[in-house]
A and B are shown apart, each in its own frame.
Chain A
Amino acid sequence: MADLVSHPDEVKVVSQRFGQGAADIDRYLQLDGYKAVQKALAMQPDAIVNLVKDSGLRGRGGAGFNTGLKWSFVPKQSAKPKYILCNGDESEPGTCKDRLIFEHDPHSVIEGTVIAGLAVGARAGYIYIRGEYRYLLEIMQKAIRDAYAKGFLGKNIFGSGQDFEVYWHGGAGAYEVGEESALMESLEGKRGIPRIRPPFPAVVGLWGGPTVINNAETLASVPHILLGGAEWFAKLGPPKNGGTRLFCLSGHLNRPGVYELPMGYNLKKMIYEVGGGIPNGRTLKAVVPGGSSCPILASGEIDVSMDFDSMMKAGSMLGSGGLVAVDDTTCMVKFALRIMKFYQHESCGWCIPCREGTDWLKKTLTRFHSGGGVKKDIDNIQYLSENMLGRTFCPLGDAAAMPTISIVKKFRKEFEDHLDGKPCPFERAGAEQFAMAD
């Protein structure tokens, strides 16, 4: 459904089967499908874990934790069944990559789930897809059925004597459920409220059993690592940041789209060369580098390498790969307000700093943007945000605070321009520009 794009700098690993009809199992088999899982079946579980660890694959959902290391935390012996849980609840604003994986290459997610299961000794995996993605859930349901029909799932997979079940599961609209412990609550048929940790899911997860939760893109990368080797994958990116990433380019760009680029690709190049620069002769003001929860970068801060560690050093995060470019006609107060409105809506209400903080911030920013702001509000926005940081069970409070703190810090003058009952200077400028264009 969604249009595919391409750029010469792309290195197609996870996206190599996009547009090739690989949702069809026979086509997937022609394109080296289900070879990786057969290779994994012949390996010792620890060897699979070590291979993935050495590949430098890090969680594509946003946290960037080493995937093999995460798998190694699962206890070998467990009285309760172990599970693999694929997180396809993609809802971080700016992110639209898992959608393409489910649409074009659903079997790679199934295959990655089985390999993860073999690595940690699980016998079942769940693929959780957000409720809005109904057509993708249907694609996945068919893919799972087809894999069962071929004997790739169920009892005695590939005649190996090992059993592995894969099940689909659909959500019903909730950003918070993308957080791993809330995801498990949702799968168990409850409100998606985060769990206190420790114990971590690797020890006590779904129905009390050890559970590995990985993002869909992470799991879709795994079969490629099995086939191409850890060294090959690691070398695609800078040290400790193996592989490629699906970067979702959106906002004020000439060529938005989802591009697969090596880890560590330069952000400035990504905006001006891959994304085609800023349209309508305008200039770049700011960039959301990896989804709405990342601290925003000003236009002067974008000569950075897009990998987990470099982005951390630059004071932001690589996040989920959702890059949103913001041009100079955009009001940053309004932008901050829209972000806060989202987090206020999605806060599950469990932790008071997040529930109250996002609500007060939304109210303050709404009043401020409409001209009712007073000078002390600016520091108060900062203060309220800082008081959410690290004070909640899950990172939603941080996700709301981080972009807000960075916007106030980097665009304070825009806040000051809204003081003393002045109307939003950008809405006026915007209106004039529209009038001139007519």
Chain B
Amino acid sequence: MKFSEQFEARFVEMLTHYPTKRSALVPTLLYAQDEVGCLTDEVIAELASRVDLTELEVRNVISYYSMLTTKPRGQYNVQICTNIACLLCGGEELLDHCKGRLGIGHKGTTSDGMFSLEEVECIGACSWAPAVQVNYAFHENLTTEKMDRVLDEYKKKATQ
């Protein structure tokens, strides 16, 4: 199992942060997922052995956190918040619009693997609602027109 040099350096550093190895687990899982795309059997086995846990214990942690996934997502994961502030400002309309435009539903992925879609809970952008996160990037104060431009940009980026 090969991770990037940056991942390895960060992992070594993180182990010095805590009195127990497993304390590094949650952020490490997320960083590993960012590199591999999802938490594959191979990733789980590797990280379990690194922090002295069984694979089952690691899977038990993974299933708790909503950002962690064992199934691949699209290259760009479009996460639309529909919690109260976004709900009042058009979050559901934005979600419906994206469903229509991408032709996929909640937790679906386009056939070319470019986009996946997720309805998410509050992402901490309430004062700039409605808001969306594409992977880690925030897009705020959106309308369906602005959302189209955001998706166009990512499409362009993916095909370059």
Contact = CB atoms under 8 A, between A and B. Distances in A.
Given A174-B65, A256-B127, A324-B126, A189 B25 contact: yes
A256 B128 contact: yes
A410 interface: no
Contacts of A96: 124-128
A192 interface: yes
Interface residues of A, number: 58
A271 interface: no
A173 interface: yes
A111 interface: no
Interface in A140-188: 167, 169-175, 186-188
A86 B123 CA distance: 19
Interface string B124-137: 11111100010010
Interface string B9-29: 000000001111111111101
Interface in B43-97: 51, 60-61, 64-68, 82-85, 87-89
A327 B128 CA distance: 17
Given A173-B68, A186-B26, A188-B20, A133 B124 contact: yes
A12 interface: no
Nearest to A343: B121
Interface in A342-397: 342, 345-346, 348
Contact of A94 (B23, B29, B30, B85): B85
Interface string A78-120: 0001000000001111111011000000000000000000000
B124 A99 contact: yes
Interface size class of B (residues with CB under 8 A): 35 or more
B17 A93 contact: no
Contacts of A3: 128, 141
Contacts of B88: 250-252, 324, 326-327, 330
Contacts of B129: 250-251, 256
Contacts of A172: 26-27, 29-30, 65-68
Contact of A258 (B26, B89, B127): B127
A313 interface: no
A92 B20 CA distance: 29
Interface in A217-249: 248-249
B48 to A, nearest CB: 11
Contact of A292 (B83, B123, B140): B83
A3 B138 CA distance: 12
A3 to B, nearest CB: 7
A322 B111 CA distance: 39
A108 to B, nearest CB: 18
Interface string A41-53: 0000000000000
Most buried by B among A167, A173, A188: A173
Contact of A2 (B51, B128, B136): B128
Contact of B85 (A186, A258, A324): A324
B37 to A, nearest CB: 15
B122 interface: yes
Most buried by B among A190, A192, A330: A190
B93 to A, nearest CB: 10
B123 A132 contact: yes
Contacts of A94: 84-85, 122, 126
A293 B14 CA distance: 34
A403 to B, nearest CB: 9
Contacts of B18: 167, 207
A187 to B, nearest CB: 6
B136 A288 contact: no
Contacts of B122: 91-95, 175, 292, 342
Contacts of B127: 2, 96, 248-250, 256-258
A268 interface: no
A131 B20 contact: no
Interface of A: 1-3, 81, 90-96, 98-99, 126, 130-135, 167, 169-175, 186-192, 207, 248-252, 256-258, 288, 292, 322, 324, 326-327, 330, 335, 338-339, 342, 345-346, 348
Given A131-B67, A170-B27, 7 more contacts: A2-B125, A2-B127, A187-B23, A187-B26, A189-B20, A191-B64, A207-B20
28 contacts: A2-B125, A2-B128, A81-B19, A94-B126, A132-B133, A134-B136, A169-B27, A172-B65, A172-B66, A174-B65, A175-B121, A175-B122, A186-B26, A188-B20, A191-B61, A192-B65, A207-B18, A207-B19, A248-B127, A251-B126, A256-B127, A256-B128, A258-B127, A324-B84, A324-B126, A326-B88, A338-B83, A338-B84
- The 4 lowest CB-CB distance pairs between A and B, nearest first, are A173-B67, A189-B25, A189-B22, A173-B66
